């Protein structure tokens, strides 16, 4: 059969649903094309830099979306699909269809759908696929797609054409985001669609979304959203507001100007432009470090350009300083990261002095700032809070704000603190099932085992993902394949008759898939009956520490066990655990203080990252 498009026409009558119609197909002949691209089992043809995996072209389908526009004097549909552009290299075939609501000649219609223009975009030997196309209010087109080759990571590119360009021709290509990684081990699947759409606010701005990789990996893609418009595009019933933002003498770059729901940011010359529907708008201009300015009832005329300039005055500022210290008993200064945010303000990232814990920053007054504080060293919970800097006058040369961070008692790895455990404390460092522990298996399929390093059978994980080190316990449903798992890892018995507080704590990495369940149960009668104290039915990826208070259930009992129960798992993922504590654990500060210093290279004098410093007896 000749190459063709088939069009179905759907009319929905919501008032009288019985009058709705679905007719077709109407056949529209197109220029010859070749598909599949290379003829492999799923048309996986697209090469990538530094990856043996060939990606699917999905050439069997037209791509998202079939974009419709009514220009008044004509209706138009644009669409695209992937074809063999020659030599089994993927290219983008695109179409503009006019009169899509007509019927084919010979079927009773006098104005059939017709191909107004078409073309195959393949300007060189790179592979192009996964396209999406749209038109703006003036009939200009934009086509976005993925591009790759043996010498190029999969990247994101666009091309386009103005309404008055020669029919069937696209303009120059712009690879606006060069990928920095390739896809591996994903059975060749790449996306399923991308999206080119037009902003309804101005009917001129194109928005495009597409995937790429920052680093070579599997199922770890990134998504980029880009916007652009053609110079001179102006939708009917719209106009522009433009102007300059200054401090009275010099332009202000990066100022935000708003008009209703429209917004723009000034360029290096302080200039801005906003396209809006006709009407009147209240406007503001603002930038951190300046008092905002406003203008009311600014008029936008049809096809016109209204000039509205703004002059901003410098806002006063004040120094905020203080210290960050340990708040759990040690009291020593902490080396910490401080992230500071505020309404309309940029994000500030500073660090305290590693020896004194001191910080200082100058901030504009008249705002309330949020301080988010995290220790550079391990073992502390995040801290911080709000700092209100009222508008002038503030009768002080500066503001002192001191902060403290609390140790994470659930991890207890902050320098100067020791984890003391009454009861069971198991890190599986014996390399096998600990004495007194047991494994149950209700289905006879794969079960719990003790492991060190990567997944030995299926390569699903690179090692201990719980936050622990060395050996760990794991059950892997993915490796079991099409088999149901119901298995438990049960601890030895712990005598808690002398304890007034009790907990179950463990490092964990749980990767959920469908209906599989991870339970932690407690028994106070040696395993005869069980009470559930923790359940997970969604991803809970490590590194993480789970800590459950079981005082009311287990404190004072003489025969306490814990059970890690994994069930309803069928071709799911895995659950890893490490560093199991069953009993009472406290995180206690030691005597003395911290020793702080710097390790440098004898050869270069530069600091060394990752050096180990030990206290020798």
Q: What is the pLDDT of residues 261-270, one digit of tens each?
A: 889 999 999 9
| pLDDT tier, 424 (very low <50, low <70, confident <90, very high otherwise) | very high
- Superfamily of the domain at 238-314: Carboxypeptidase-like, regulatory domain (2.60.40.1120)
Position with higher pLDDT, 451 vs 232: 451
Q: What is the pLDDT of residues 103-154, one digit of tens each?
A: 644 444 557 899 999 999 999 999 999 999 999 999 999 999 999 999 999 9
User: What pLDDT is recorded for position 216?
Assistant: 95
User: What pLDDT is recorded for position 236?
Assistant: 80
Is the fold of 238-314 the same as that of 317-405?
Answer: yes
Neighbours of 5 (CB within 10 A): 19
Quick one: average pLDDT of 591-606?
A: 86
Q: Which two tokens stand for residue 266?
A: 């000034």
User: What pLDDT is recorded for position 108?
Assistant: 46
Q: Residue 16: is its pLDDT beyond 90?
A: yes
User: What pLDDT is recorded for position 359?
Assistant: 98
As a whole number of angstroms, the distance between CA 152 and CA 342 comes to: 41
Q: Could you tell me the pTM of the whole model?
A: 0.62
As a whole number of angstroms, the distance between CA 455 and CA 594 comes to: 39
Q: Residue 394: is its pLDDT beyond 70?
A: no
| pLDDT tier, 409 (very low <50, low <70, confident <90, very high otherwise) | confident
Quick one: average pLDDT of 210-214?
A: 97
Q: Which of 252, 144, 269 is nearest to 194 (CA)?
A: 144
Distances (CA, A) of 136 to 114, 200, 229, 304, 422: 20, 10, 9, 19, 70
Quick one: average pLDDT of 469-495?
A: 96
Which residues contact residue 445 at a Cβ distance below 8 angstroms, ignoring those fewer than 6 apart? 480, 483, 484, 485
User: What pLDDT is recorded for position 105?
Assistant: 45
User: What pLDDT is recorded for position 110?
Assistant: 58
Is residue 513 within 8 A of residue 480, CB to CB? The reply is no
Q: Which two tokens stand for residue 339?
A: 């992230």
| pLDDT tier, 398 (very low <50, low <70, confident <90, very high otherwise) | confident
Quick one: average pLDDT of 477-482?
A: 92
Most confidently modeled range among 26-40, 393-407, 516-530: 516-530
What architecture does CATH give domain 419-589? Sandwich (2.60)
Q: Residue 395: is its pLDDT beyond 70?
A: no
Quick one: average pLDDT of 324-331?
A: 96
User: What pLDDT is recorded for position 312?
Assistant: 96
Q: Residue 232: is its pLDDT beyond 90?
A: no
Q: Residue 70: is its pLDDT beyond 70?
A: yes
| pLDDT tier, 393 (very low <50, low <70, confident <90, very high otherwise) | low
**DSSP string of 226-276?**
EEE--TT---TTEEEEEEEEESSSSB-TT-EEEETTEEEE--TTSEEEEEE
Quick one: average pLDDT of 247-260?
A: 96
User: What pLDDT is recorded for position 325?
Assistant: 97
How does the average pLDDT of the chain come out, rounded? 93
User: What pLDDT is recorded for position 264?
Assistant: 94
Q: What is the pLDDT of residues 538-582, one digit of tens each?
A: 999 999 999 999 999 999 999 999 999 999 999 999 999 999 999
Q: Residue 592: is its pLDDT beyond 80?
A: no
Q: What is the pLDDT of residues 315-326, one digit of tens each?
A: 999 999 999 999
Long-range contacts of the stretch 452-457 (C-beta < 8 A, 24+): 455/479
User: What pLDDT is recorded for position 107?
Assistant: 44
Task: Please state the domain extents for the chain.
Answer: 4-228, 238-314, 317-405, 419-589
Q: Residue 376: is its pLDDT beyond 80?
A: yes
| Residues pairing with 320 in the sheet | 361, 399
Position with higher pLDDT, 12 vs 595: 12
Between 2.60.40.1120, 2.40.10.220, 2.130.10.10, 3.30.465.10, what CATH number should domain 317-405 receive?
2.60.40.1120
Q: Which two tokens stand for residue 212?
A: 């790429």
């Amino acid at each position: 059969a000749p190459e063709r498009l088939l069009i179905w026409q759907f009319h929905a009558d919501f008032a009288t649903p019985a009058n709705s119609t679905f007719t077709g197909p109407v056949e529209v002949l197109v220029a010859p094309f070749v598909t599949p691209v290379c003829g492999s089992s799923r048309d996986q043809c697209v090469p990538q830099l530094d990856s043996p995996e060939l990606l699917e072209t999905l050439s069997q389908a037209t791509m998202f979306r079939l974009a419709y526009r009514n220009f008044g004097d004509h209706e138009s549909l644009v669409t695209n699909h992937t074809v063999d552009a020659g030599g089994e290299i993927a290219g983008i075939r695109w179409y503009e269809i006019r009169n899509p609501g007509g019927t084919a000649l010979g079927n009773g219609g006098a104005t059939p759908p017709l191909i107004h223009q078409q073309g195959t975009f393949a300007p060189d030997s790179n592979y192009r696929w996964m396209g999406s196309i749209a038109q703006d209010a003036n009939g200009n087109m934009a086509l976005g797609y993925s591009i790759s080759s043996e010498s190029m990571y999969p990247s994101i590119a666009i091309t386009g054409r103005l309404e008055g360009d020669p029919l069937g021709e696209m303009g120059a290509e712009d690879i606006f985001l060069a990928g920095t990684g390739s896809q591996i081990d994903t059975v060749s699947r790449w996306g399923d669609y991308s999206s080119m759409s037009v902003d309804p606010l101005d009917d001129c701005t194109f928005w495009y979304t597409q995937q790429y990789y920052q680093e070579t990996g599997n199922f770890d893609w990134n998504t980029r959203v880009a916007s652009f418009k053609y110079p001179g595009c102006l939708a009917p019933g719209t106009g522009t507001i433009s102007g300059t933002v200054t401090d009275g003498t010099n332009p202000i770059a990066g100022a935000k100007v708003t008009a209703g729901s429209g917004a723009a940011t000034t360029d290096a010359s302080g200039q801005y432009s906003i396209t809006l529907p006709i009407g009147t708008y209240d406007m503001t201009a603002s930038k951190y470090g300046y008092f905002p300015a406003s203008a009311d009832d600014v008029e936008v005329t049809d096809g016109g350009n209204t000039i509205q300039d703004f002059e901003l005055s410098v806002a006063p500022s004040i120094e905020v300083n203080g210290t960050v210290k340990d708040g759990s008993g040690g009291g020593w200064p902490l080396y910490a990261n401080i992230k500071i945010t505020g309404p309309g303000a940029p994000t500030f990232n500073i660090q305290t002095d590693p020896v004194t814990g001191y910080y200082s920053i100058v901030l504009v007054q008249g705002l309330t700032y949020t301080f988010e504080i995290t220790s550079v060293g391990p073992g502390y919970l995040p801290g911080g809070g709000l700092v209100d800097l009222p508008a002038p006058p503030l009768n002080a040369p500066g503001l002192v704000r001191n902060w403290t961070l609390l140790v994470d008692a659930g991890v207890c790895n902050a320098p100067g603190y020791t984890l003391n455990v009454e009861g069971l404390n198991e890190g599986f460092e014996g390399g096998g099932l600990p004495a007194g522990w047991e494994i149950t298996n209700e289905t006879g399929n794969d079960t719990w085992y003790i492991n060190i390093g990567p997944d030995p059978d299926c390569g699903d994980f690179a090692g201990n993902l719980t936050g622990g080190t060395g050996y760990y316990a794991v059950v892997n449903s993915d490796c079991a394949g099409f088999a149901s798992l119901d298995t438990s890892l049960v601890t030895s018995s712990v005598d808690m008759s002398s304890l007034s507080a009790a907990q179950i704590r463990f490092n964990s990495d749980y990767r959920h898939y469908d209906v599989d369940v991870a339970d932690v149960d407690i028994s106070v009668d040696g395993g005869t009956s069980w009470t559930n104290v923790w359940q997970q039915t969604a991803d809970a990826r490590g590194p993480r520490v789970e800590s459950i208070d079981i005082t009311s259930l287990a404190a004072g009992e003489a025969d306490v066990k814990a059970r890690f129960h994994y069930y309803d798992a069928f071709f799911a993922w895995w659950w890893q655990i490490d560093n199991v504590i069953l009993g009472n654990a406290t995180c206690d500060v030691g005597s003395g203080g911290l020793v702080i210093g710097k390790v440098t290279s004898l050869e270069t004098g530069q600091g060394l990252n990752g050096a180990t410093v030990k206290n020798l007896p």
